[in-house]
Amino acid sequence: MKAWVSHPTPDPAVAVLEAAGLDVQVGGDPAGADGVLAHLIQTVDADFLDRVGPQLQVVANFAVGTNNIDIAACHARSVVVTNTPDVLTAAVAEHALALLLGAAKHVAEGDRMIRAGKWIGWSANQIQTVELRGKTLGIVGMGRTGRELARMAEVALGMNVISSRPLPLQDVLAQADVVSLHVPLKPETTHLIGAAELALMKPSAILLNIARGPVVDEAALAEALAARTIRAAALDVFENEPVVHPALLACENAVLSPHLGSATAETRSAMARLAAENVAAVLLGDGPKTPVSR
Ligand code: GLV
């Protein structure tokens, strides 16, 4: 049986697939594959499934988010879909914490200032940063990564945490000093944060997005940042990756990171192993380890 891997994948993905006795093909034509290991930049829709063929049994996403996959189209063809939950929770929450601190402490802006030769030496008021202790962190989407960021912010930073479960989103937006997004991308979460929602946030608030780009209306965010109706935003994901809205690039108060949430060596290797094990388990008849139901 053939396993098709959409893009070069960290160890031990290929080794796990080969140890299961599968012929492995990385990239190229997916036609004839029995199992697919897909990166989040691989669209898996009805067209793709037709190209692969009716023998396909499993699509294992190398990500926890599955918005690149038409799950209904897979299930209609009895193709199992899996993702990589849990193994990336720590890395993603750590990255959210890095974005939080980066925005609050003006890390990238200060770096740019030094490199541009604009640092005039120590001064009491060149850049004013944000103290986080005692401030309120609002988590939108209290899943695995949201809970882990909340724990780290409480323990390490002394922040208070509120969340969209049970509070209405509007209350979280109005009360939080930092709003962090952790929802999956679905039709109902597309542009969850637009002009109206940004207008509810405090002028001193920071917005973090480590979920998926289209959860935020980037044009509306750029306007809010430029007009300083919110203080700052830190983004690991973008509406149209790798293109970033030009108005955002012009905002000194936007911290930008190139979708690195799960990029630690430990996590990428654990994701590679889990995705490959899902392909092998389904093809060998053992059933998926981490199936996605919808
Ligand atoms: C990364 O973005 C993931 O969903 O795993």
Helices (H), strands (E): how many in the chain? Answer: 11, 11
Taking the centre of ligand 1 as the mean of its atom positions, its distance from the CA of residue 184, in whole angstroms, is 10
For residue 65, the ligand 1 atom closest to its alpha carbon is: 4
pLDDT in the model for residue 178: 99
> 4 pairs with which residues across the strands?
25, 36
Kindly report the number of other CB atoms within 10 A of residue 24's CB atom.
21
Mean pLDDT of 165-175: 96
Flag whether pLDDT at 259 surpasses 90.
Answer: yes
For residue 213 and ligand 1, the question of a CB distance below 6 A is answered with no
> 26 pairs with which residues across the strands?
5
Task: Please choose from 66, 88, 274 the residue to mutate so as to test ligand 1's pocket, defined by most ligand atoms within 8 A of CB.
Answer: 88
83: left (phi over 0), alpha (psi -120 to 50) or beta: beta
For residue 64 and ligand 1, the question of a CB distance below 6 A is answered with yes
Q: Using one digit for the tens of pLDDT, what is the confidence trace for 179-222?
A: 999 999 999 999 999 999 999 999 999 999 999 999 999 999 99
Q: Using one digit for the tens of pLDDT, what is the confidence trace for 26-50?
A: 999 999 999 999 999 999 999 999 9
CB 263 within 8 A of CB 238: no
DSSP 294: -
pTM greater than the 0.85 cutoff:
yes
Taking the centre of ligand 1 as the mean of its atom positions, its distance from the CA of residue 126, in whole angstroms, is 37
* Helix (H), strand (E) at residue 110: helix 107-115
d(CA 115, CA 133): 30
Q: End-to-end CA distance of the chain, in Å?
A: 27
Flag whether pLDDT at 165 surpasses 90.
Answer: no
Q: Using one digit for the tens of pLDDT, what is the confidence trace for 80-122?
A: 999 999 999 999 999 999 999 999 999 999 999 999 999 999 9
For residue 67 and ligand 1, the question of a CB distance below 6 A is answered with no
- Confidence label for 294 from pLDDT (cuts 50, 70 and 90): confident
Taking the centre of ligand 1 as the mean of its atom positions, its distance from the CA of residue 47, in whole angstroms, is 23
| Long-range pairs, 43-47, Cβ under 8 A, ≥24 | 43/68, 44/68, 44/69, 44/70, 44/74, 45/70, 45/73, 46/70, 46/73
